[in-house]
Amino acid sequence: MKVSYFNIRGLGEMIRLLLTDKQIPFEDEQFNKDEWQKIKPKMQFGQVPCLSFEDEQIVQTGAIMRHLGRVHGLNGQNEQETTFIDMFFEGIRDLHSKYTTMIYQNYENGKEPFLKDVLPVELEKLEKLFKTYGNGDAFVAGAKESYADYALFEEIDVLLVLSHSAFDHFPKLKNFHDRFSQRPNLKAYLSKRAASNLPINNNGKQ
């Protein structure tokens, strides 16, 4: 199995986190923007991240995460949980879209308005929803982790780089991040990643 993506965290990092935490062996293929031009024609839709195995390619971050969720039992215990996980994941993706718009299009002038006016509103939604199962004291869907937890952890981690105080008023999300970061496989990976200075984005912003 191979994960192909830029040499940044970006949209590929939640996939790396899931595979690493669950000890699923994979090749981590990373490349820069210049190298991407040679690789792009080989990818479905000309897109990455790409999960490939044998003769199959899966692109689109959501499709990859849902595939891994189904195959590795990270997709909920019943239809209600599966739908909730799917909905929560899409909520995270909506927030990330707002974040990337600011990062890539208006970082200098947009950062402070994003932190003041956009982020608190979005985090309030996620904090409230996170309490649905087990009052937010475990994972997105309660007692067992799902693919959405890896997306949530990475999103919180990225936003804490943007502002270390971003989650001061959202204790359930902050506590989740603190707990999740201590999972042994993730803790080792995060330490290694920090030493490598892997950037979050592809434009030098974070």
The pLDDT tens digits of the residues spanning 32-61 come to 999 999 999 999 999 999 999 988 999 999
The pLDDT tens digits of the residues spanning 83-124 come to 999 999 999 999 999 999 999 999 999 999 999 999 999 999
Tell me, what's the pLDDT at 149?
Answer: 99
Tell me, what's the pLDDT at 55?
Answer: 87
Alpha-carbon dihedral angle through residues 69, 131, 152, 72, given to the nearest 10 degrees? -10
* Token pair 């909730």: residue: 84
For residue 2, is pLDDT > 90?
yes
Strand partners, 58: 51
Tell me, what's the pLDDT at 37?
Answer: 95
Tell me, what's the pLDDT at 204?
Answer: 86
The pLDDT tens digits of the residues spanning 113-169 come to 999 999 999 999 999 999 999 999 999 999 999 999 999 999 999 999 999 999 999
Tell me, what's the pLDDT at 87?
Answer: 98
Q: Answer yes or no: are the C-beta atoms of 198 and 157 closer than 8 Å.
A: no
The answer to whether the predicted template modeling score (pTM) of the entire model surpasses 0.85 is yes
Q: Which residues contact 56 (CB under 8 A, 6 or more apart)?
A: none
Q: Provide DSSP, 121-139.
A: HHHHHHHHHHTTTGGGSSB
> Which helix (H) or strand (E) covers residue 109, if one does?
helix 107-113
The pLDDT tens digits of the residues spanning 167-200 come to 999 999 999 999 999 999 999 999 999 999 999 9
Q: Which domains does the chain have, with CATH numbers?
A: 2-72+187-196 (3.40.30.10), 79-183 (1.20.1050.10)
